[in-house]
Homo-oligomer: A and B are copies of this chain.
Amino acid sequence: MTSLARHKQVFGHGAPLFYDEPIELVGGEGVWLFDSDGRRYLDAYNNVPCVGHANPRVVAAVSAQMATLQVHGRYVHGLVVDYAERLAALHAEPLSALVFACSGTEADEVAMTMARLATGNRGFITSEAAYHGNNTDVGRLNDIGGRVGAGKPVDPEVRGVPLPDGSRRFVDGVADAIRSLDEAGIGVAAVLMCSILANEGLPPLAAGEMAEVVELVHAAGGLMIADEVQAGFARSGCWWGYEYSGFEPDIAVMGKPMGAGIPFSGVVAAAELVERFRSSTRYFNTFAATPVQAAAGMAVIDVIEDEGLLDQIPRVGDHLAASLREMGVTDRLGEVRNVGLFVGADWLDHDGGPDGEGARAIVNAARQAGVLIGLDGPHGHVLKLRPPLVFSMADADHLLDVMSLVLAAAK
C-alpha cells in the first residue's frame, strides 16, 4: 500500500491533505521542501517554520534543551522566565504579563475567558469570514458568514461583521454588533480579530479603521483582542500586526511561528487581566511554558533580529506583490494586496467575480510546477503567498517566474 493509502486508512479519508495529488515530504531546508521522489518545492506557504525549515539555530537550541531538561511549568525555569520577559518586552505597554498555552485555539480561548472575566459580558464580535480555532468555544467565531458553516446554528453570543471594502461597512458593522449584543442583554466581552484580517484574504483595511473599532468596543465596556497567530512575529514587517494596522489591543494572542514547529502559543495582556484570569481559574496546561518551547522561541526571536528580517520582509513582500500586479499575464488576476510577506491575489472569473474553483486549479498547477502556495478569503478565490520569513529577493523572483507561467496557462 502507498503511504497515501495508509495515511487515509489510519487517519480517515476525510483527514485534510493539500493538493489533488498530495505530497509525501521527507525533508526541508530553508525555503525548500523535498519529497519522497527526490523532487524539491519552493515553499511559499508555510508560516510555522518561520525562520526556514530545519533552521540550524532552532535545531541546536531544541536539541540542547531536550538533552538538558524538558518539564512542565509548575517549576521555575530560568530560560522560560527569560523568554517570557523578552517576548513581553516586544509588546507595547501595558501588555506585560503572559499565559502560555500549546495551540492557537487554546490561546484564543484563554483570551476569551480573560475578556469574559474582566468585563462580566459574554458577547464576541469578529469578522464574518474569520477562523480562530478548532474547538467548541472558539469555533463559535468561525465563518459566521457561512462559507464553511452553512446551516450551522446561530450562536446568540457571537456577531460577525462584514469585511472592510473602502466604505464604512466594517466599522459600522462593529457598532451594529455592539448595539445588538447590548439589546440582547449579553454585552460585549471583546472584539476578537486577526490584526491584519489574514484568513479573510487581507481585505483593504483603511488607516484608522481598527483604532476606531477599539474606541467603539472600549466605549461599550468590552476589550480588543488582537489575534496575532498569523500576523505576529514579523510577518507584516512589524513585530505585531496591530502595529502594522495601527491600533492598541488589550490582549494579543500568539501562536503558529512562535516555536518554529515546537507547539507553542501564548496570550499577552496587562498584568491585571492576567492576575484576574489566574485567580478566577485553575488554568494549567501540561505542555505550556516548558524549557524546550522557550529554547525554540528564543531562537526564533534571535534569527528575526540577527538576520534583519524586519527590514527584509516588507521589501521582499512588496516586490512580490508589485511584480504580480505588473505581470499582466491575464486579466483574471484581480487585486493584489500584501501585508509584509503575506500576499493575497484575487482570482476572478470572466465576469470579474471571485473564482474559487479556478484558484484551486492554480494552486494545484503551482504544486506540479514545484511551488507551494495556498488559498484564502471568504470565497476561497484569494491566492495566498505566505512563505517562511527568510524568503529572499532571489526566492521571490523564482516564485514569480513560476507563477507567471502558471497564471498564463490558467488564462
Contacts and interface: CB of A to CB of B under 8 A. Distances in A.
B6 A81 contact: yes
Contact of A285 (B75, B77, B103, B137): B103
Contacts of A4: 76
Contact of A256 (B58, B135, B286): B286
Contacts of A105: 106, 285
Given A106-B103, A278-B14, A36 B78 contact: yes
Interface stretch (A60-68, A183-191, A232-240, A245-253): A60-68
Contacts of A262: 70, 262-263, 292
B137 A135 contact: yes
A133 B67 CA distance: 29
A282 B148 contact: yes
Nearest to A70: B261
B12 A274 contact: yes
Nearest to A136: B137
A358 to B, nearest CB: 21
A206 interface: no
Interface string A73-108: 111111011001100100000001111101111100
Contacts of A349: none
B103 A11 contact: no
A211 to B, nearest CB: 28
Contacts of A278: 11-15
A237 to B, nearest CB: 23
A406 B78 CA distance: 30
24 contacts: A3-B78, A4-B76, A12-B271, A12-B275, A14-B275, A14-B277, A16-B74, A17-B74, A17-B75, A24-B75, A33-B69, A46-B71, A62-B63, A62-B66, A66-B261, A102-B102, A102-B106, A103-B103, A134-B283, A135-B135, A256-B286, A262-B263, A262-B292, A263-B287
Contacts of A80: 7
Interface stretch (A47-55, A173-181, A303-311, A375-383): A47-55
A109 interface: yes
A328 to B, nearest CB: 32
Given A81-B3, A292-B261, A22 B76 contact: yes
Given A109-B136, A285-B134, A54 B67 contact: yes
Most buried by B among A9, A16, A66, A260: A66
A58 B62 CA distance: 12
Interface string A109-132: 100010000000000000000000
Closest 9 CB pairs of A and B: A14-B278, A70-B261, A263-B287, A63-B63, A12-B278, A136-B137, A24-B76, A263-B263, A12-B274
Interface string A16-38: 11100011111110000100100
Contacts of A287: 102-103, 263
A403 to B, nearest CB: 21
Given A16-B282, A49-B70, A102-B106, 14 more contacts: A9-B97, A10-B88, A10-B98, A11-B99, A11-B278, A12-B99, A24-B78, A58-B66, A70-B261, A103-B287, A136-B136, A261-B290, A263-B263, A263-B287
Given A16-B284, A106-B105, A137-B135, A66 B63 contact: yes
Interface string A266-289: 000001001101110011111101
A407 to B, nearest CB: 24
A132 B134 CA distance: 18
Contacts of A69: 25-28, 33, 53-54
Contact of A3 (B36, B73, B76, B135): B76
